[in-house]
């Protein structure tokens, strides 16, 4: 059980700054997910917390003590690796008990802990097998078991599900969440998969180019992204970004997307979007699920407009519709009964309560 804090942590590989000074406080028992595209520094950050990578500047603090120069074996953290990293010559039991045996725990204590972890992970019948006789999902469970038996201060997960097939990944995701609910240990989890981040995390840390873009609860990131990067990274399919011009007419603000498409911005946001009036490089951000087919007696603040459908992607429960506004391709999610056909005209409704305005120059969401 531990709190972990990063204070302006920097990692340089020769000239390249992989982690460019990040600050982060992780509370006791919290499940924090570091997410971002490859090369954003998330794995490096995790490895610095583990002690597998030296830090170039800043401090890593665990339970109030700076651990910058503490070797990994004395940090009392357990790590689950992307490719499992099981010891191939040991049985599952030996793999899981290796850390405890190194620390000279009494035999019956080791036995008790391994059996308990095996029960939690449902791998009791695998204890005598060697790793090569296990499937990918089973190996991943054993790797988790090896972490659990140690009863460490912190769990570190480095893309643990990336090597599993899609179905197993979803299953193991639930498993990890279940284990965390049972074991309640501070957990830091790295992934490039935003769905994994959203589903697992108490708090998500979105990283990009060695910096933290935003930290927040999954729903906060989804509904109130701080930057264009977060807005585009979280959510699938990705948010639409459409260049627009904001004008003030009387009391109201209007957003013009093209010659033909424009609408009034909800009055509640007039004050917030005031600075955008007349500025260049403003983007309207709207998620595909907030552009639907026009419905009679629809919700408030809905702007309807006609588009020429270019491509449709039926998904069964819904249909993705692609069309152009100006030179920008836009995606909408409509009901399969809306009758969207390629080449036809469709009346769509933009739900403006969910809109974002983004300053493209700074990347900030206004």
Partner 1 sequence: MASTAVLEAAGAARRPRYGSMSRDRKWALRWSYFFLIVFAIFFLTPPVYMFITSLKTSHEISAATNPWWVYHPTLSNYIELLTSPMFLTFFKNSAVVSVCVVIITMLISVPAAFALSRMRFWGSAVLATGVFLTYLVPETLLFLPLFKMFATFHDLTGFSLLNQWWVLLILYPTLTVPFCTWIMIGYFASIPKELDEAALMDGANYRQMLIRIFIPVALPGLIAATIFAFTVSWAQFLYPLAFTTSVDQLVLPVGIITTLVKADVYNWGQIMTGALLGAAPPLIIYAFLMDYYIAGLTAGATKG
Q: What minimum distance in Å lies between the beta carbon of 341 and partner 1?
A: 31
Q: Is 37 near partner 1 (CB under 8 A)?
A: no
Q: Is 139 near partner 1 (CB under 8 A)?
A: yes
Pick the binder of partner 1 from 27, 133, 224, 311 (CB under 8 A): 133
What is the secondary structure of 197-211 as a DSSP string?
HHHH-SEEEEEETTE
Q: Which two tokens stand for residue 43?
A: 């794995």
Q: Is 130 near partner 1 (CB under 8 A)?
A: yes
Distance, in Å, from the CA atom of 353 to the CA atom of 247, rounded to the nearest integer, reads 18
Note the helical H segments in 281-366.
Answer: none
Residue list 49-78, contact with partner 1 (CB under 8 A)? 50-52, 71-73, 77-78
Q: Which of 69, 85, 60 is nearest to 188 (CA)?
A: 60
How many residues in the shown chain lie near partner 1 by CB under 8 A? 32
Pick the binder of partner 1 from 36, 58, 131, 218 (CB under 8 A): 131
Specify the residue, 47 or 356, whose C-beta has the smaller distance to partner 1.
47
Distance, in Å, from the CA atom of 288 to the CA atom of 209, rounded to the nearest integer, reads 26
Q: Is 81 near partner 1 (CB under 8 A)?
A: yes
Distance, in Å, from the CA atom of 133 to the CA atom of 123, rounded to the nearest integer, reads 13
Distance, in Å, from the CA atom of 265 to the CA atom of 252, rounded to the nearest integer, reads 7
Q: What minimum distance in Å lies between the beta carbon of 146 and partner 1?
A: 7
Q: Is 106 near partner 1 (CB under 8 A)?
A: no
Q: Is 153 near partner 1 (CB under 8 A)?
A: no
Distance, in Å, from the CA atom of 295 to the CA atom of 287, rounded to the nearest integer, reads 18
Q: Is 85 near partner 1 (CB under 8 A)?
A: yes
Distances (CA, A) of 262 to 46, 132, 137, 282, 352: 45, 61, 51, 14, 12
Q: N- to C-terminal Cα distance for the chain?
A: 38
Phi-psi region of 339 (alpha: psi -120 to 50; beta: other; left: phi over 0): left
Q: What minimum distance in Å lies between the beta carbon of 154 and partner 1?
A: 11
- The SS3 assignment for 160 reads coil
Specify the residue, 107 or 347, whose C-beta has the smaller distance to partner 1.
107
Q: What minimum distance in Å lies between the beta carbon of 178 and partner 1?
A: 23
Pick the binder of partner 1 from 21, 37, 136, 237 (CB under 8 A): 136
Pick the binder of partner 1 from 13, 87, 174, 336 (CB under 8 A): 87
> Which listed range, 96-104, 187-195, 220-228, 243-251, lies at the site for partner 1 (CB under 8 A)?
96-104
Distance, in Å, from the CA atom of 24 to the CA atom of 347, rounded to the nearest integer, reads 46
Specify the residue, 51 or 288, whose C-beta has the smaller distance to partner 1.
51
Which residues sit at the interface with partner 1, rule CB under 8 A?
50-52, 71-73, 77-79, 81-89, 98-99, 102-103, 130-134, 136, 139, 146, 150, 163
């Amino acid at each position: 059980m531990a709190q972990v804090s990063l204070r302006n942590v920097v990692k340089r590989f020769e000239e390249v700054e992989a982690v460019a000074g990040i600050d982060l406080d992780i509370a006791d028992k919290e499940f924090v997910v570091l997410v971002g595209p490859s090369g954003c520094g998330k794995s490096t950050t995790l490895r610095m917390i583990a002690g597998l990578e030296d830090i170039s500047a800043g401090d890593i603090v665990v339970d109030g003590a700076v651990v910058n120069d503490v070797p990994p074996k004395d940090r009392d953290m357990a790590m689950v690796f992307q490719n499992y990293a099981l010891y191939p010559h040991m049985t599952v039991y030996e793999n899981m008990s290796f850390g405890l045996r190194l620390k000279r725990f009494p035999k019956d204590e080791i036995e008790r802990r391994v059996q308990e972890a095996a029960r939690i992970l449902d791998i009791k019948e695998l204890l005598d097998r060697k790793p090569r006789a296990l499937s990918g999902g089973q190996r991943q469970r054993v790797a988790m078991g090896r972490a659990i038996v140690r009863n460490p201060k912190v769990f570190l997960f480095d893309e643990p599900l990336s090597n599993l097939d899609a179905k197993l990944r979803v299953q193991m995701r639930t498993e990890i969440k279940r284990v965390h609910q049972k074991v309640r240990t501070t957990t830091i989890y790295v992934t490039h998969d935003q769905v994994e981040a959203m589903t697992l995390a108490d708090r998500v840390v979105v990283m990009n180019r060695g910096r933290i873009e935003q930290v927040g609860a999954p729903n906060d990131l989804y509904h109130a992204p701080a930057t264009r990067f977060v807005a585009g990274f979280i959510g699938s399919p990705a948010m639409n970004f459409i260049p627009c011009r904001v004008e003030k007419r009387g009391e109201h603000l209007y957003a013009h997307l093209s010659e033909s498409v424009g609408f009034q911005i909800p009055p509640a946001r007039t004050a917030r979007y005031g600075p955008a009036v007349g500025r260049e490089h403003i983007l309207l951000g709207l998620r595909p699920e907030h552009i639907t087919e026009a419905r009679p007696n629809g919700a408030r603040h809905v702007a309807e407009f006609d588009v020429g459908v270019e491509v449709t992607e039926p998904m069964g429960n819904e249909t993705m519709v692609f069309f152009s506004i100006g030179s920008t391709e836009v995606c909408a999610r409509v009901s399969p009964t809306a009758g969207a056909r390629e080449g036809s005209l469709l009346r769509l409704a933009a739900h403006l309560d969910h809109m974002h305005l983004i300053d493209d120059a700074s990347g900030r969401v206004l």
